[in-house]
């Protein structure tokens, strides 16, 4: 119901099809403390909705009434629930229902009830709905690339209904459009670890590490690929600290003496896992040290924490805590 339809709306009490229904008013008790000043259209719609809900009338007119009630309050989960009961009872076209939700989502895309309802419909349709659901979320994400509900729904669709075949390409396109899109990086990791067609994380690691290193070299200040790089070694610390590419990348970034916070952070984690740094890496770190404020006999890990306290003031307390942890662990 758009604004023009709302202006032309005929009250339910004046519609012949509702003449047999006695509306049920909201029961606020005998002495409501702060009664809500509902608009008349909303009040009347909900009064008639209560009547059909109480009588469990699962009819076409009740279905139309739920659409009116949802228009006035899209977050009313009771109305959405009753709508689902009616759809089942009338054996309505669920493809039409997806179209209804898509129209409604244009102005209410972050409403929890919409996404719960859409999942229910898609689940009923099964694998036939996969392509349409992926296209629907793609439309939403083209407007808001970090839309939580759209990403959550998309991941559910892939796992429950399928459609994995083109998902890595979709992530690739999103990252080509915006390499800083952390949601696309997250989805990429989801795909390479969950897709039944890619062979799993170990099978994809070599290619993904090369891809990620290239992204880091282009934008070392971008935290997302650094996080993604760590994720590629999830539950495999031994492979992480034995990698030749990662220490080389870190030294390369440090040597540029700019945007090196995430490189230092990764080196610190490597050291905490038992990594043995090269002389080249030690020298690259020492060059960044503020000699006036740090003792010369600090360990490499302590030196890194000291540098990070200085160049990353937003997380200064965190790096101080990490330094304390190093002392407690004898690192």
Active-site residues, by number, are 110
Whole-angstrom distance, CA of residue 191 vs CA of residue 198: 8
Find how far residue 85's CA is from the centre of its chain.
29
Count the Cβ atoms, other than its own, within 10 Å of residue 3: 7
The DSSP result for 275-315, as a single string, is ----HHHHHHHHHHS-TTTS-TT--HHHHHHHHHHHH-GGG
Tokens 């009064």 belong to 47
The DSSP result for 200-225, as a single string, is -HHHHHHHHHHHHHHHHHH-TT-HHH
Query: Cβ(287)–Cβ(324) under 8 Å?
Result: no
Tokens 């399928």 belong to 162
Whole-angstrom distance, CA of residue 225 vs CA of residue 137: 24
284: buried, middle or exposed (CB in 10 Å: 19+, 13-18, 0-12)?
buried
Whole-angstrom distance, CA of residue 231 vs CA of residue 189: 8
Whole-angstrom distance, CA of residue 19 vs CA of residue 16: 5
């Amino acid at each position: 119901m758009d604004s023009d339809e709302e202006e032309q709306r005929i009250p339910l009490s004046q519609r012949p099809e509702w003449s047999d229904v006695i509306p049920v008013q909201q029961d606020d008790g005998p002495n409501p403390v702060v009664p809500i000043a509902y608009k008349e259209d909303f009040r009347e719609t909900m009064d008639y909705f209560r009547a059909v809900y109480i009588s469990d009338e699962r009819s076409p007119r009740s279905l139309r009434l739920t659409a009116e009630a949802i228009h006035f309050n899209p977050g009313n989960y009771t109305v959405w629930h009753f709508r689902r009961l009616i759809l089942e009872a009338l054996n309505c076209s669920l493809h039409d229902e997806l179209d209804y939700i898509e129209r409604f989502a244009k102005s209410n895309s972050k409403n929890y009830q919409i996404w719960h309802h859409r999942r229910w419909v898609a689940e009923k349709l099964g694998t036939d709905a996969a392509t349409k659901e992926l296209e629907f979320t793609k439309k939403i994400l083209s407007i808001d690339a970090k839309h939580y509900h759209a990403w959550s729904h998309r991941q559910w669709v892939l796992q429950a209904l399928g459609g994995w075949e083109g998902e890595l390409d979709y992530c690739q396109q999103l990252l080509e459009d915006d390499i800083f899109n952390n949601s696309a990086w997250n989805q990429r990791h989801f795909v390479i670890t969950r897709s039944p067609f890619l062979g799993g994380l170990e099978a994809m690691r070599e290619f993904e590490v090369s891809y990620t290193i290239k992204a880091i070299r282009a934008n070392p200040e971008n935290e997302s690929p650094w996080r993604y790089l760590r994720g590629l070694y999830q539950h495999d610390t031994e492979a992480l600290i034995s990698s030749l590419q990662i220490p080389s990348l870190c030294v390369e970034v440090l040597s540029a003496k700019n945007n090196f916070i995430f490189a230092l952070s990764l080196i610190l984690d490597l050291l905490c896992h038992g990594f043995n740094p090269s002389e080249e890496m030690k020298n690259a770190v020492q060059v960044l040290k503020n000699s006036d404020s740090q003792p010369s006999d600090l360990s490499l890990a302590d030196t890194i924490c000291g540098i990070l306290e200085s160049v990353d003031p937003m997380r200064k307390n965190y790096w101080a805590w990490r330094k304390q942890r190093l002392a407690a662990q004898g690192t």
